[in-house]
Structure 1
Amino acid sequence: MPLNIQNISPSYVIRSLLPKSYGTFILRYPTANDEVISLIKIEDHHSQETSTHSYIILSIRVDETVYKYYIQHYRLPYILENIHKNTQQPLEIYNRQQNNLKNGKFTPLKHELILPPEDESWFLDKKYFQGIDFDRIRNVGMNNQGTSTAVWQCEKQNDIKVFIKRFKKNSSYFRHELSLLKEFCYFSIITLYGQYSDNHYSYLVFENGGKSLESCCPLKIRSMKTKMRFITTVGFQIAYAMMYLEKKNIVHRDLTASNVLIDSYGFIRIADFGHAIHKQEGKNTLERSQTTTGENRFQFRFLAPECLPETKQREITDTSIILNQADVYARFSSKSDVWSFGILLIQLMLDDPRKPYPHISNVNEIPRYVKQEGKIHPQPPGCPMDMYLILKRCWAYEAKNRISFTEIRDRMLCLNIIFQ
């Protein structure tokens, strides 16, 4: 029976395969998202693909207790001139590769899923979600109306743990996160499954990526080596995720330990894209007002100098001097995310992760300390100099002088090896 190679988005593949039985698979052509992932991988690219050799993606619904994730993706090479003569060729390659594995992780292919055209609304039927209780997690955010864990009940599959975020009806933050997250498909970025609404609220349904990094702090690890191994492993993963966002022209603008999730296997997910923006050439300069209607939109303790408001050399006797300046602008970029990344790693070394710069009690003194006086976060007790030197490069005053996420990733890998 001939196979179908479908022209569909990888995010559509994931949410379509998720409720299906083990062994259900989809073959699809590569997309721009796959090319982005290829660009950031640590690989030897000596071999160049010719015009007659290419690859397709085989995505399979697998047993997550064996693979630690629901969907596995395989790049399978094929010869363009032969694919129409032998449509089974990619599956033959997969079976041959998997039969040679010695770890026993082989999912037999059982059923090919042919998808209809993608539903642009990403609608999910609420009746499949059970155990929702927005009173259980009392952390209503600045931009949302609460969160809840739940289970997605599937007809041919075990229940799937999910995370639901609630917004006011027709909220601009709801529309913003929905439109942005539909474009992401990467393991270290939180996966959006879809959305639904009722008479009062709109809801986004995500994978359950675990608990926040902030909730793990202070780290209860006695050995400095073990602690730094954990921090460098987390730093490596976050840097990889931020490389992906940078290639997608996304600036997160709120990278903190509370917005990074970690699961029981130690894998991280970048979450909470309520403040994120898409950098579009010629359409925006990544400049945004620091305040709207007098409300502080960002956390000063995590911001780079260029993103902090001007103190104008005046004594700060009233918070309104900072918080109500309608004409204050902040310039955000991937380099300002680099600064925030450095503060995030500091959070993992503090007794109180919510308060970087613990010696500064009044948050409104941060702009003076960082922007006006050009000072950086002091070295925490127990932070090795090798690590602090990397963090100092994250905090170069001029954005252009800061270390890149690619170099951060490589440095985290080297430090992790040192702390073994």
Structure 2
Amino acid sequence: MPNRLTIQRVSPAYVARALASQSRGTYLLRYQTSNDEIISSIQLKKSTTTALSKDSYVVLSVRVDEAKYQCAVMNYRLSYTEADDSKLRSKLLKQYKCQVNLREKVTKLTNELILPKENENWTLDPKEITGLDFTEGHFGGRHHAGASRGFWKKSRQESVNIFVKRMKKKNEHFQNELNVLKDLCFFSITTLYGHYTDNTYDYLVFADNGNSLISLCPIIGSTVRSRMRRVVNIGFQIANAMMYLEKKQIVHRDLTASNVLVDSHGFIRIADFGHAIQKIDGHNYLVSSCAKDGRWNFQPRFLAPECITRRRGSSSDQNYGCFSSKSDVWSFGLLMVQLILDRPCVPYPNIANDEDVPRYIGVERKVHLQPPNCDFDLYCVLQQCWIYEPIRRISFCDLREKMMKLAYIFN
């Protein structure tokens, strides 16, 4: 660190994408934000700085080696008061070394990055995006027109592994996903770097956070206990990520194993926010789960009963569905089932037709049967995800705690 440091007022999401293309050891100091407070509020083991007043710490963001940290940028909370200015460098450097020594991973700080005013459009130069091949067909999706891995290379800076999703112009899911992800910055949420366009398509550029979780389903293990241990570990991570989204007032509305990424280290990231909404008090977010032509706007096998729109002419018409974090909890339960089923893409394997699932759930008030090889204690937790009345349904906070206890049992 140089003797004189600049504390910047920038958003964590801006910092994440700005540092990603820098060399390792590049850093910046920034004031804390509401996003940092949300992350702190859901941490299991809160540091001593958590209880400090709002303006009593700064955040040191450092570009690190992903092979050691499984992410491009690490953030460290450092205590700070205005009276520290004369000794700011030495005090902050000492705190940083103490924190990284606990992890036995040290990234030497090299150059300080001073950021210009944020580009609120998040546009990228398409000339910096290379190595794409949309003809491979490895990444299917309902709402995009191809996806590919590639590289983001800015002049005289490190190449960054990326995942690019393209959509035909005027696709509502493109703008929705862009708007939602601009405000998100959390390890367990996929990282958006920006977007660009050409004459035919719009492109979203993400960090390469691994493959779809569905590619690992069903989860296997040498024993039933080891298999369940892997399942509840994934469940813990997803519940933790969903706690963050709930604090952000975001409802995903499409939480399935296909929309969760898992990297080579087993860390998950929630992805595909094309259906997500950010709730604001006083706004009406009721929506039909069926389009005018009768097709489903959402995946019917993952819909909570309060989200199901029944066809016109049925015995009990319901024109609008109500989505909330509790409807995401319902989907979470089915995602956990996907981790166990031999046919993970088809929850409710006893029901052949998608059209029969809404009646099974919404009218008959039945839930998913206990899958073969699913531990009874885990199934009891999943049943709490499928309580018919949303207000009585288990929360993501309690789900995370349940996953922790089950992990202890299976160990």
Q: One fold, TM greater than 0.5?
A: yes
1:1-400 paired onto structure 2 within 5 Å: 1-43=3-45, 49=51, 54-80=56-82, 82-97=83-98, 101=101, 104-137=104-137, 139=139, 141-284=141-284, 286-294=285-293, 295-310=295-310, 328-400=319-391
For 2:399 and 2:88, how far apart are their aligned partners in 1?
43
Change (3 A) 1:274 1:159: same
For 1:45 and 1:313, how far apart are their aligned partners in 2?
57
Contact 2:288–2:309, Cα closer than 8 Å, also in 1? no
For 1:312 and 1:373, how far apart are their aligned partners in 2?
18
Contact 2:140–2:146, Cα closer than 8 Å, also in 1? yes
How many percent of aligned residue pairs carry the same amino acid? 48
Contact 1:21–1:156, Cα closer than 8 Å, also in 2? no
Once the two structures are overlaid, the 10-residue window that deviates more, 39-48 or 301-310, is: 39-48
Aligned equivalent of 1:319: none
User: Which 4+ residue blocks in structure 1 deviate beyond 4 angstroms?
Assistant: 44-53, 154-158, 311-315
Contact 1:64–1:70, Cα closer than 8 Å, also in 2? yes
1:23-44 deviation per Cα after TM superposition (whole angstroms, max 9, x unaligned): 1101000001011111111135
For 1:106 and 1:229, how far apart are their aligned partners in 2?
31
Which amino acid in structure 1 is aligned with residue 392 of structure 2? N
Contact 1:233–1:416, Cα closer than 8 Å, also in 2? yes
Which amino acid in structure 2 is aligned with residue 386 of structure 1? D
Q: CA deviation at 1:96?
A: 4.1
TM-score (norm 2): 0.94
Alignment gaps of 5+ in structure 1? 316-321
1:69-117 deviation per Cα after TM superposition (whole angstroms, max 9, x unaligned): 211110001133x133333145333354157x26541111111000001
Change (3 A) 1:299 1:66: same
Q: CA deviation at 1:62?
A: 1.1
Alignment gaps of 5+ in structure 2? none
Change (3 A) 1:399 1:187: same
Q: CA deviation at 1:229?
A: 0.6
1:319-358 deviation per Cα after TM superposition (whole angstroms, max 9, x unaligned): xxx9xx9x72111100000000000000111000011000
Q: CA deviation at 1:51?
A: 5.0
Which amino acid in structure 2 is aligned with residue 377 of structure 1? H
Which amino acid in structure 2 is aligned with residue 17 of structure 1? L
Contact 2:78–2:96, Cα closer than 8 Å, also in 1? no
TM-score (norm 1): 0.92
Contact 2:22–2:158, Cα closer than 8 Å, also in 1? no
For 2:223 and 2:267, how far apart are their aligned partners in 1?
21
Change (3 A) 1:93 1:245: same
SS of equivalent residue, structure 2 residue 166? strand
Aligned residues: 408
Which amino acid in structure 1 is aligned with residue 370 of structure 2? Q
SS of equivalent residue, structure 1 residue 145? coil
For 2:96 and 2:40, how far apart are their aligned partners in 1?
23
SS of equivalent residue, structure 2 residue 86? coil
Q: CA deviation at 1:157?
A: 5.0
